[in-house]
Amino acid sequence: FQAPSVALEALQESLAAHPAGYTVTQGTLELREAICRKYQRDYGVAVRPEQVLVSGGSSVLLFLAIRLLAPPGSAVLITDPGYACYDNFVLTFHGKPIGYEVPADTGFRYDPALIGKLISGRSKGILINSPSNPTAAVQDHDTLKQIAALGVPVISDEIYHGLEYGAADARAVSMLEVTDECFVVDGLSKRYAMTGLRVGWLIAPQSLVAPLQRLQQNLFVCASSL
């Protein structure tokens, strides 16, 4: 699919009007404010611009969040089946990915009780993905609430939000509707067909944005000015 025409026009205008220089490491304030308005409009949750970090796609931000939470030797719980790169994000930092099963005969629903049984002293994060790649399952509010109550930081990959189809109650719930103490990743790639333009954002507890910003500054510098 081609990106929306309004986005393509804005890109051309930006190229003509502005130097292609470095941007603010955390992301331009105008963009972060727009992201906050989106979460208020779509999910009814209040997000401050200071909680938002913009980068070159959501994969970079998953990478940063896992690096911040999970030091070498720790474990991160990951869906099985799940997106293949999740394991690699954890292994890169000498952590251990622990798969929690989401069986087909349950409609690929998450089982908070099973996840709870897999938690140990080494567990530093639970990675969830709804709507999911590859199962397409959409988890409900109560399931996410139970996962949040397990006491381990949750990283929610919400890059497929906006691609739910079917009944009205199939709307994807953001983890931010359940708890403020989470890391939510999303971006423009999927719902806006802008995969190659690489724009993503991470919403995190405000106290943890500064170390994430330092990691971004040293590893990736900033998002593209486009």
Q: What percent of the chain has pLDDT over 90?
A: 81
Q: Pairing state of beta strands 182-187 and 200-203?
A: antiparallel
DSSP string for 110-125: --HHHHHHH--TTEEE
Cβ–Cβ under 8 Å, residues 49 and 36: yes
DSSP string for 31-51: HHHHHHHHHHHHH-----GGG
The per-residue pLDDT for 168 is 62
Please, which pLDDT band fits residue 167 given cuts at 50, 70 and 90?
A: low
Q: For 57, left (φ over 0), alpha (ψ -120 to 50), or beta?
A: left
Please, which pLDDT band fits residue 169 given cuts at 50, 70 and 90?
A: low
Q: What percent of the chain has pLDDT over 70?
A: 99
Please, which pLDDT band fits residue 44 given cuts at 50, 70 and 90?
A: very high
- Torsion on CA atoms 74, 79, 84, 89, rounded to nearest 10: -20
Read off the pLDDT of residues 97-141 as tens digits, 9 standing for 90 and up: 999 999 999 999 999 999 999 999 999 999 999 999 999 999 999
Its pTM stands at 0.92
